Each structure stands twice: as C-alpha cells, then as structure tokens.
Amino acid sequence: MTPKNDLGTSATISSIINCDGLPAMAETVLRPVARLLQADSAVYLRFRHDSLGQPQICESSYAGQRPDSVGQYMSGYFVEDPILRPVIERPQDWRQFKGPLKFHLRAQVRQSELRSSDYYRKFLQPNDLGDVIGLVFPVDNGGPQMLCVGIHRSSQQPRFTELQDLALDAISGSLRLVLQNLCLRTSVAEQSALINALDATTTGVEFAVFDRQLRMLRASRRLRALFQQTAAGAGGRLRSVAAGLLSRSDDDPVTHAAIELDDRFSGELRLVRDDGEAHFVLIVPEDNRAAPAPPTLGEVLRGRHDLTPRECDVVEQVAKGFSNAGTASALGISIRTVENHLRAVYDKLGVNSRTQLISRIYAN
C-alpha cells in the first residue's frame, strides 16, 4: 500500500472506532469504508435465526445513493445471494470460524452463472451493483449471529482489485471490534427492556438473574424475597443445579435444567454463556406457582380487630385448644402474661369466656 493509502486507512480506522451506535453507523463506518475502497455504497447487516430456525436480518444501515436496495435485499433476496446463502443456511457451523470471512462476488462466482440467475436479473442489475466485496463476522450472542459489511461498485466501475482487498484486511480488526460491541450493546438493551418489563409486572413470570458466583443481579419481587427468607434451602438447590450446568462442555446444547426451589416455586434454570462469561437466568412460569397459602388466624384477626401481634398469638393458641399454661409454654411467656392478654382480647371482642371467644372467632 502507498503512503497515501496508509493515510486513508488510518483516517478510516479512526472514524470507525468513533462509532457510538447504529444511528452513527452510516457516517462513521460505512461512508469512510466506501471512500477508502473507492466504492459507491456500503451496507451493514446483522443476521440471526428466528424461533423456527429461519434466517432473518434484524438490523441494518446503509450509505449510498440506492437506500431502497436494502429493503429489497431484506425482503427475501438475501436467501438467493450466491455468496452469503451457504453461510446463512448453516448457523451450526458459524462457531468454527475463528476470524472474519471475506467475500468477493466477481472473484467467487462465475459471471456466466451469475448473469443467468434471478438474483442478478431482479436485484443486482436493477440496482446497478457490478461488484461486491466484504466481510462477515460470526458471533455467538444469545445464539449464532452474523455481522456483515458489504461494499459495492456500480457496473460502470472496474471490479475490486488486490489493492482494495489489502485495504479491507487493514481495517477488518477495527470493524470487528466495533460491530461486536454494537451487537452486544443491542443485545443488552433488548434484555434490559425485557427484564424491566418483567420487573414491573405483578403477575405472570417470576425471574431472577445471577452471575457465575450465583450473586443475584436482578430479580422479581417474590423471588428476591424467597432467597432472602430461605437462603439456605433455595440457595442450596440453586447451587446444585447450577453446578450441573457448568460441568457440561461449552458445546453441549443442553443449557437448562428443571429446578424446584420450595413447595411454591418450581421452574427452569438457564445457563447463558457469552464471550467467556456465564450468567444464570431462573424462570418460574405462572402455572408452576402454587396458589398463595391461606392467611393464618392471626393475620385474619389483625385485619378485622384492633389486636396486637402478641394478642393474636395468644388467641391462635387458645383456638388450638391450649390451656393458659400450654399457651405460656408455646409462646415462651408467663401464665400471668397470657391471662393479661386474654383479658384485653375479651374487652376488644366483647366476650367473657374462652368459649365465647372461640365462637366469635369462627363465626367471623
């Protein structure tokens, strides 16, 4: 590369690394890359697979004179792309690629075959796309994804040469860093929005998110309370299931397991691996939550009568058939204290004996 090209490469890299999000992609990444490679346009596409395993483009940006071409490509022409189609259709192979995949339309596809295809007649030719060069960065971010940058020349221009190929190699590291960071930020934003929505709801799914050391990062109100109240029981079951998931290899497709926290909560614990990090997501569907326990007698009394917590405790023991001595022993107080509490209860409920007290309680 000539000194002039070296200066152009440095300026392009400087612009790329200043990209702070998808809205800035066209001006800080795509336009400078197109200018460096003496091209007419450039595009960024993020591929992933939907719940049915079908490829889809979930994010895009474009710099050039034919923005409508991106919509056409995303509408279905990408499945006919002779360069990307073999890669798009086999996401299970993406993990084997350690570096970016380079593609060059005019170098990889015979012109006779290309010109006889519907892809050429219905997409390339109408949009005046004569040659395409680019890079694909496979990533695993909540499932296999593919980050693609394509650079285009019109049919009136010569094909890309070795000089442009070398320039693309020179900026590939910066492109990879920025695109992967953008992909991660988008994923975090999506997950944050989901968690915020779950956190705000009072019905439906209960959830909790833990780091590798099983420190709780986020949780719905009920699960947070469960782990605070029964740290030994629920925490022990969590540690056991999490250890089983971590013991599996990175290639093991089984990344979740059933978990029963107590008699009220059972669900699924998922292991999420991302760039060497591991997090656990605990999900308890509404159908797996037992109905709330009925209120205790003491809770009912506190809600209907002006009784103190200790007076309610005494009434509960009396309702169970305990004598004053038995009540004193169960509550760890003196018999005289029990008698004093009973007198106060009699006055508040307007009764004169234990029989009337019990009758009044169950009548209510």
Domain harbouring 328, CATH code? 1.10.10.10
Q: Are residues 100 and 166 in the same domain?
A: yes
pLDDT at 3: 43
Assess whether pLDDT exceeds 60 at residue 318: yes
Kindly state whether residues 218 and 90 are assigned to the same domain. Answer: no
284 & 303 share domain: no
356 occurs within a structural domain: yes
Please answer whether residues 319 and 297 qualify as being in contact, where contact means their C-beta atoms are separated by less than 8 angstroms.
Answer: yes
**In this structure, are 308 and 282 located in the same domain?**
no
Compare 63 and 204 and report the one with higher pLDDT: 63
CATH number of the domain residue 96 falls in: 3.30.450.80
Q: Could you give the strand order of the β-sheet that contains 41-49, starting from the edge strand earlier in sequence?
A: 55-63, 41-49, 144-153, 131-140, 101-104
Alpha-carbon span 91 to 185, nearest angstrom: 22
Domain check: are 252 and 221 in the same one? Answer: yes
By the 8 A CB rule, do 342 and 331 touch? no
pLDDT over 50 (residue 4): no
- Whether residue 196 lies inside any domain: the answer is no
User: 304 φ, ψ to 5°?
Assistant: -115, -20
- Residue 195 belongs to some domain of the structure: no
Query: Minimal CA–CA distance to 139: which of 174, 177, 107, 105?
Result: 177
**At residue 43, what are phi and psi to the nearest 5 degrees?**
-140, 145
- Residue 63's H or E segment, with its range, is strand 55-63
Select the more confidently predicted residue: 96 or 291: 96
Chosen domain end from 264, 288, 312:
288
Same domain for 63 and 181? yes
Neighbours of 213 (CB within 10 A): 7
Q: What is the mean pLDDT of residues 108-114?
A: 92
241 and 276 together in one domain? yes
> What is the C-alpha to C-alpha distance for residues 40 and 23, in angstroms, rounded to an integer?
20
pTM of the model: 0.57
Specify whether 77 is located in the same domain as 180: yes
Average pLDDT over residues 108-117: 92
Instruction: Tell me which of 288, 308, 333 is where a domain ends.
Output: 288
Do 253 and 307 fall within a single domain?
Answer: no
Q: Quick one: average pLDDT of 245-273?
A: 74
For residues 30 and 174, membership in a common domain is answered with yes
| Nearest CA among 154, 134, 104 for reference residue 44 | 134
Please tell me the distance from the alpha carbon of residue 226 to that of residue 216, in angstroms, as a whole number.
12
In a domain, 82, yes or no: yes
- Position with higher pLDDT, 321 vs 157: 157
Helix-strand-coil percent breakdown of the chain, rounded to 5?
50, 20, 30
| Confidence bin at 108 (pLDDT 50/70/90) | very high
In a domain, 252, yes or no: yes
Widest CA span in the chain: 106
Chain centroid, CA 77 distance in Å: 29
Domain that holds residue 328: 297-363
Mark whether 47 and 99 lie in a shared domain. Answer: yes
Query: Rounded mean pLDDT of the chain?
Result: 81
Domain count of the fold of the chain: 3
Dist. CA 355–CA 301, nearest whole Å: 17
Nearest to 238, CA basis, from 211, 218, 273: 211
Q: Rg of the Cα trace of the chain?
A: 33
Residue 165 lies in a domain: yes
Answer yes or no: is pLDDT of 203 > 60.
no
Same domain, 181 and 223: no
Q: Are 92 and 140 in contact (CB under 8 A)?
A: no
Q: Which of 88-97, 130-139, 262-271, 305-314 has the highest mean pLDDT?
A: 130-139
Domain boundary among 270, 288, 306: 288
The CATH number of whichever domain residue 266 belongs to comes to 3.40.1840
What is the SS3 string spanning 160-213?
Answer: CCHHHHHHHHHHHHHHHHHHHHHHHHHHHHHHHHHHHHHHHCCCCCEEEEEECC
Q: How confident is the model at residue 200 (pLDDT cuts 50, 70, 90)?
A: low
Residue 255 lies in a domain: yes
The secondary element (H helix, E strand) that includes residue 315 is helix 309-319
Residue 334 domain-assigned (yes or no): yes
